[in-house]
Amino acid sequence: MKRVFIIISLVFVLIACRTRHIYKDVYTVPVTDSYSCVLIDSILQYGLDHEALYTLLGTIKPMSSLIDLSFPIANSDTFSSVNGEILSREKHGAYLDRIRIVQKAVNDIRLPDIKFVMIPYESPWRNRRNIQLNVVRISALDSLLKAKENFFGQFGFVPGTDPAVVVNTIEYSGRYERLRGYGYLFGYPDHAVDFFVKAFRTNDSTGQFVERNFFQIPVYSKNKGYFVYAYPKDMEPTAAVDSILYHRASHVLEQYRKIRPAYLNVDSTVQAYKLLKDLNK
């Protein structure tokens, strides 16, 4: 399982949604509500072009990460943690407004069986709060909670539990429960989840890094580095698990490659929301 702390720039426009995209950076543009639907397309296109394809167009990954935000809003002063006044509108309001714009955009997305969850990471980096936007396929999550009830049941999770409750609970769980929970949520095979948790435990107890190989599943934008999981150096990928997962993903990717050109704008961006809504009609 990978935990990415890369800040991916979001795009905004200062014109109506029906016109061509003009890209601006989330951290510098003025904040208004007028470019919400272009932001929606931008977020969804990034997801479709990367590993979230296997959540948005299938059930291979119950959850996928979409984008990461990072803003200097975390409390790094332990002495002030007892106070309620951590932030000020004058100093921090612009950052909160930008988070609000992203939250509003994803709240406006209406896709069956899909939910978007904003997760503030537990551990701040200096004074920055990293916030990850994930997409969850609710039916796949329900199936996972049932199949892995011997793990998720300890939290009281059953099919029908709100995805936001599941994901944020896992984020704030103990180290090894967090690793295992994310491994299952991100759709990695059992053997990869077991290896990853044990490898971290070995590293924590001995200081020795456990050597590993990586199983790569292509996404639209790149063949390596996105949907990827680790396995032991002395293990060979299996036909019954790894190859089947690879071919299931390949089928979804091929479907997306075929339909994507029909939704291109003149600037080669994708009408991603329309694509997904049309597929769900």
Does residue 4 lie in a domain region?
no
pLDDT at 196 over 60: yes
The pLDDT of residue 32:
53
Q: How many helices (H) and strands (E) does the chain have?
A: 10, 5
Does residue 13 lie in a domain region?
no
The answer for residues whose C-beta is within 8 angstroms of residue 135's C-beta and 6 or more apart is 47, 52, 55, 56, 63, 64, 66, 114, 115, 116, 117
Q: What is the mean pLDDT of the chain?
A: 87
Does residue 11 lie in a domain region?
no
Q: What is the pLDDT of residues 199-225, one digit of tens each?
A: 999 999 999 999 999 999 999 999 999
The pLDDT of residue 78:
61
**Full residue range of the structural domain in which residue 219 is found:** 36-279
Q: What is the pLDDT of residues 219-272, one digit of tens each?
A: 999 999 999 999 999 999 999 999 999 999 999 999 999 999 999 999 999 999
The dihedral of CA 101, 102, 103, 104: what is its sign? positive
Does residue 29 lie in a domain region?
no
The pLDDT of residue 28:
47
Does residue 24 lie in a domain region?
no
The pLDDT of residue 81:
62
Please tell me the total count of domains within the chain.
1
Q: What is the pLDDT of residues 113-157, one digit of tens each?
A: 999 999 999 888 888 999 999 999 999 999 999 999 999 999 999
Q: Residue 134 is encoded by which pair of tokens?
A: 């994930």
Cα–Cα distances (Å) from 201 to 197, 207, 210, 225, 252, in that order, read 6, 9, 10, 24, 35
The pLDDT of residue 84:
79
Q: What is the pLDDT of residues 78-106, one digit of tens each?
A: 665 667 788 999 999 999 999 999 999 99
Does residue 85 lie in a domain region?
yes
**If you ran DSSP here, which 8-state letter would residue 63 be given?**
E
Give the CB-side neighbour count of residue 108, counting CA atoms within 13 A: 18
Mean pLDDT of 58-65: 97
Q: 35 near 160, Cβ under 8 Å?
A: no
* φ, ψ (nearest 5 deg) of residue 132: -105, 135
Q: Over 34-59, what HEC string results?
A: CCHHHHHHHHHHHHHHCCCHHHHCCC
pTM for this structure? 0.86
